[in-house]
Amino acid sequence: MGRYIIRRILQAIPLLFFVSIILFFLMGQLGDPVATMGGRRVTRPADRERLTRQLGLDQPFYKQYLYWLIGNDWAKIDMDGDGVAETSGTRLGILRGDFGNSLMKRGQSAWDVIWERIPNTLLLMLTAEVVIVVFALLIGIFSALRQYSLADHVITAVSFIGFSTPIFFFALVSIYIFSVNFKRWGLPSLPAVGMFDPQVGKTPGQVALHMVLPVMTIAFVSIAAYSRYIRSTMLEVMNQDYVRTAKAKGLQGRQILFVHALKNASLPIVTLIGLDLALLLGGALVTERIFAWPGMGRLFLDHMLRFDVPVVMGILIILSLMVVVFQILTDLTYAVLDPRIRYD
Amino acid sequence: MPDPTLARPHDPPRDGPLRYAHDPSRLLLDIRNLEVRFNTPEGVVYAVNDISYGIHEGEVIAIVGESGCGKSVSMMSILGLIPKPPGEIAGGTATFMGRDLLTLPESDLEQVRGIEIAMVFQDSMTSLNPVLTISRQMTESLRRHYNMTDEQATARAIELLELVGIPDAERRMSDYPHQFSGGMRQRVMIAMMLACNPSLLIADEPTTALDVTIQAQIVELVSRMRERLGMALIWITHDLGVVAGLAERVIVMYAGMIVEEADVDSLFDNPHHPYTMALLAALPRVDRRRDNRLNSIPGSPPNLLNKPRGCPFAPRCIYTIDRCRSERPPLIPLSPTQRTACWVTTSDDFKYERRQDSGYESQSAGTYE
């Protein structure tokens, strides 16, 4: 087992390098960071030239990537544009934990910008994920056990509506109903923007209240998709011979379901959730945007539009790392759940 | 609480007089006019059509027929093991110890399954749960039905495993099914099903997935356990060789119907249904030249999507007369121990001769030699 984990980690290293090269290349093609430079007015040509030089954007691709990766404190760079590289670099590179400085938020490192958002995003996304998994399991198992019943048909219809509704549409409709109209009708309405009411302050109650609509929005579409998946997985397992054997032994339906069926059905479900957990840190692009939730999704979108390469690269690399880590964890979970899988 | 010890006080004598289905007294399981259908998108599959038979306490019967003739489905339907929908029990009764299993609520049926009637399935690889230990699978019915503690159930499970010949049973309790060979898995399956001392064991082709020497061992094991526990046994198979050595009575099924029912001697010496004759003719025989091709029955079984009007075997039968195609023959008693559903061979002027004169044997011989 230990050897297996080490082998998987060693295999992941070149993969991550490869991914980072592609991402870095694509980022370079997005646009000129200096052109917008934090959203301020277009700078004077002389300043732009200086900025380009100071940020190292005039360097060839391989050199930019190398500096991003391992830093440039070992090299001399030309800061004042006289053609002589005499200043020592200050960057340490991402391998030494230096994500670079944010271009949009001057004076802040990219890591600080990202780090600030991580708790907010995890709070929102983990809550949503728990809601998704619990409801999808309940609905999926329920409709599998009552296949082709009226309840199953209704759930199927609602799932297809949910599955085909764009997130932004659901978000706007939910705001329209629960924030706007509820307020108009004098009902207790839900807040639609931000994490808390500035007049009340950041209390747990406020945050929870502000989370209701975004969590609902994220969960709705995913529950629709997941419950379908869990339903079909359960149906497949419930038709297996060993479930018939369990029944022939006179076991109760509940015991058959939770002991014999669910453990077998858990493998494909774990695969799904494993990948999901990895991407939780990425936040929800559309939902965070609409509900003005200060999370990673919104950060990514804002900084992407301003070509803030260090921040965006930082987010993407963290996500890549998480995907790799969670894939290894998922595979290890398989071995726990299914005794036929061994990694020796 | 039933006594979980293995020995039964009333071991029935093996060599007593044969008991037959038409004698309704002391029937353990009495199936009457059972009809099972499957409602599929292609149409209604008539899987079991109006079958009636019974089994006495301690009796061994075999149900014979080719794949898809309704052998397994008829047995699974009385235990409520067919998926509903698409399955549907369209009629009939199955009286077991005074209660009709077909109308029993699920909670009562759970008390019959595993305790009174146990079933061993065909493929032990897929019939055991791959992600649970043998211990878990062995003890769960004991704990459920007898309220045993973990220690009691484990001790009993080890005892059962030793009884069916699993070496080193105590250590193997913590193993998973994939760590056993096919034969050993089937032994575990049998031990599991015998856990609660059933009065009827249904063995659904338990030797199909095994090689020949292991098959013999399993047959031997089941009949030994049967004698020891005094339970009745229904052995579903398509292997007539197994039938001869094991069963007292044989039921031959074709297209979801019973076409012949006889005590084992009558069936082999004096078969009256053309399908039974054809099956016997298809058996490999040691007294034949080895380079002969094996006999087979020309044609294939009917599609059960259409309920046949006449005799289902008529299209493949060499004796077919007009009446066979228009009217389904009932089971006609030939002797106290034999019933056959055939218009032709049950008439007085038909005479079956066992050896080379059998229509099937000479026809096949002529074709292939």
Q: Cα(A338)–Cα(B178) distance, rounded to whole angstroms?
A: 11
Which residues on B lie below 8 Å from A339 (Cβ)?
130-131, 133, 176, 178
Q: Are residues A208 and A146 in the same domain?
A: yes
Tell me how many degrees the CA angle B319-B320-B321 measures, rounded to the nearest 5. 115
Chain B: give the shortest CA distance to residue A242, in Å.
Answer: 4
Tally the C-alpha atoms within 13 A of residue B16's C-alpha that lie toward its C-beta: 11
Which residues on B lie below 8 Å from A153 (Cβ)?
none
**At residue B98, does pLDDT exceed 90?**
no
Confidence of residue B190 (pLDDT cuts 50, 70, 90): confident
Q: Are residues A68 and A153 in the same domain?
A: no
Q: Are residues A95 and A134 in the same domain?
A: no
Chain B: give the shortest CA distance to residue A241, in Å.
Answer: 5
Q: Cα(B182)–Cα(A5) distance, rounded to whole angstroms?
A: 33
Q: What's the mean per-residue pLDDT of chain A?
A: 87
Neighbours of A176 (CB within 10 A): 12
pLDDT at B209: 72
Which residues on A lie below 8 Å from B110 (Cβ)?
250-252
Asked if residue A172 belongs to a domain, the reply is yes
Which residues on A lie below 8 Å from B128 (Cβ)?
242, 245
Tell me how many degrees the CA angle B35-B38-B42 measures, rounded to the nearest 5. 135
Q: pLDDT tens across B13-68, in order?
A: 333 334 444 445 678 888 888 899 888 888 888 888 888 888 888 889 999 988 87
Cβ(B196)–Cβ(B8) below 8 Å: no
Residue A159 is part of which domain span?
115-337
Q: Cα(B34)–Cα(B92) distance, rounded to whole angstroms?
A: 4
Cβ(B367)–Cβ(B357) below 8 Å: no
Q: What order do you get walking across the sheet with B332-335 strand by strand?
A: B117-120, B200-204, B232-237, B60-64, B249-254, B257-263, B338-340, B332-335
Q: Cα(B289)–Cα(B252) distance, rounded to whole angstroms?
A: 28
Lowest-confidence range among A212-221, B97-106, B130-139? B97-106
Which residues on B lie below 8 Å from A239 (Cβ)?
83
Closest in A148, A248, A260 to B129, CB measured: A260
pLDDT at A13: 93
How much is the CA Rg of chain A, to the nearest whole Å?
25
Q: Are residues A202 and A129 in the same domain?
A: yes
pLDDT at A174: 93
**At residue A86, does pLDDT exceed 80?**
no
pLDDT at A319: 92
Q: pLDDT tens across A144-169, in order?
A: 888 888 999 999 999 999 889 899 99
Averaged pLDDT for residues A78-100: 80
Chain A: give the shortest CA distance to residue B262, in Å.
Answer: 29
Choosing from A111, A138, A157, the residue where a domain stops is A111
3-class SS at B253? Answer: strand
Closest in A242, A253, A339 to B126, CB measured: A242
CA of A241: which chain B residue's CA is closest? B127
Q: Are residues A278 and A319 in the same domain?
A: yes
Choosing from A52, A83, A111, the residue where a domain stops is A111
Q: Which pair of structure tokens corresponds to residue A163?
A: 């599955």
Asked if residue A343 belongs to a domain, the reply is no
Lowest-confidence range among A39-48, A115-124, A319-328, B36-45? A39-48
Which residues on A lie below 8 Å from B134 (Cβ)?
none
Q: pLDDT tens across A18-77, in order?
A: 999 999 999 888 877 777 665 566 667 787 888 888 888 888 888 889 988 888 888 777
Asked if residue A233 belongs to a domain, the reply is yes
Check B144 against A251: CB less than 8 A apart: yes
Side chain identity, residue B89: I
Beta bridge partners of B335: B338
Peptide bond into A166 cis (omega under 30): no
**At residue B368, does pLDDT exceed 60?**
no
CA of A339: which chain B residue's CA is closest? B131
pLDDT at A139: 94
Q: Are residues A86 and A120 in the same domain?
A: no
Asked if residue A188 belongs to a domain, the reply is yes
Q: pLDDT tens across A262-278, in order?
A: 889 988 888 888 888 88
Which residues on B lie below 8 Å from A245 (Cβ)?
121, 127-129, 189
Q: Cα(A129)–Cα(A127) distance, rounded to whole angstroms?
A: 5
Sign of dihedral through CA atoms B153, B159, B165, B171? positive
Chain B: give the shortest CA distance to residue A337, in Å.
Answer: 7
Neighbours of A230 (CB within 10 A): 24
Neighbours of B356 (CB within 10 A): 8
Side chain identity, residue B217: Q
Residue A176: partners with Cβ closer than 8 Å, 6 or more residues away? none
Which of A236, A242, A254 should we substitute to test contact with B (largest number of B Cβ atoms within 10 Å)? Answer: A242
Tell me how many degrees the CA angle B300-B306-B309 measures, rounded to the nearest 5. 90
Averaged pLDDT for residues B85-104: 86
Asked if residue A344 belongs to a domain, the reply is no
Asked if residue A211 belongs to a domain, the reply is yes
pLDDT at A154: 94
pLDDT at B176: 92
Q: Are residues A52 and A179 in the same domain?
A: no
Asked if residue A269 belongs to a domain, the reply is yes
Q: Are residues A163 and A300 in the same domain?
A: yes
Closest in B114, B129, B140 to A248, CB measured: B114
Closest in B114, B130, B133 to A250, CB measured: B114
Estimate the crossing angle of helix A309-337 against helix A296-305, to 10 degrees: 140
Q: What's the mean per-residue pLDDT of chain B?
A: 80
pLDDT at B25: 61
Q: Are residues A104 and A154 in the same domain?
A: no
Averaged pLDDT for residues A168-187: 91
Closest in B80, B127, B145 to A245, CB measured: B127
State how far the alpha carbon of B368 is from the alpha carbons of A70, B287, B319, B360, B363, in Å: 82, 17, 20, 12, 9
Residue with tokens 């009385």: B78
**At residue A316, does pLDDT exceed 90?**
yes
Side chain identity, residue A222: S
Q: Are residues A39 and A163 in the same domain?
A: no
Averaged pLDDT for residues B175-185: 89
pLDDT at B352: 57
Chain B: give the shortest CA distance to residue A235, in Å.
Answer: 11
Q: Are residues A164 and A238 in the same domain?
A: yes
Estimate the crossing angle of helix A167-174 against helix A204-238, to 10 degrees: 130
Helices (H) and strands (E) in chain A, counts: 15, 2
pLDDT at B19: 43
Q: Are residues A150 and A172 in the same domain?
A: yes
Residue B173: partners with Cβ closer than 8 Å, 6 or more residues away? B133, B134, B135, B138, B154, B157, B158, B161
Lowest-confidence range among A126-135, A283-292, B358-367? B358-367
Q: What is the ipTM of this complex?
A: 0.81
How much is the pTM? 0.79
pLDDT at B93: 87
DSSP character at residue A109? B
pLDDT at B22: 42
% of chain A beyond a pLDDT of 70: 97
**At residue A332, does pLDDT exceed 70?**
yes
Per mean pLDDT, which of A135-139, B19-23, B84-88, B299-303 is the most reliable?
A135-139
- Domains in chain A: how many in total? 2
Q: Cα(B165)–Cα(B142) distance, rounded to whole angstroms?
A: 20
pLDDT at B16: 38
Choosing from A111, A143, A165, the residue where a domain stops is A111
Residue of A253, A302, A256, A248 lying closest to A114 (CA atoms): A302
Which residues on B lie below 8 Å from A250 (Cβ)?
110-115, 141, 144-145, 196
pLDDT at A37: 64
State how far the alpha carbon of A143 is from the alpha carbons of A137, A138, A230, A330, in Å: 10, 9, 9, 27
Q: Cα(B120)–Cα(B114) distance, rounded to whole angstroms?
A: 10
- The larger pLDDT score, comparing residue A200 to residue B77, is at B77
pLDDT at B72: 87
- With an 8 Å Cβ cutoff, the interface of chain A facing chain B consists of 148, 239-242, 244-253, 255, 259-260, 263-264, 337-340
CATH number at residue A219: 1.10.3720.10
Q: Cα(A8)–Cα(A329) distance, rounded to whole angstroms?
A: 10
Neighbours of A86 (CB within 10 A): 10
Chain A: give the shortest CA distance to residue B197, in Å.
Answer: 12
Chain B: give the shortest CA distance to residue A225, in Å.
Answer: 25
Q: Cα(B54)–Cα(B72) distance, rounded to whole angstroms?
A: 16
Neighbours of B322 (CB within 10 A): 10
pLDDT at B360: 55
% of chain B beyond a pLDDT of 70: 86
Asked if residue A342 belongs to a domain, the reply is no
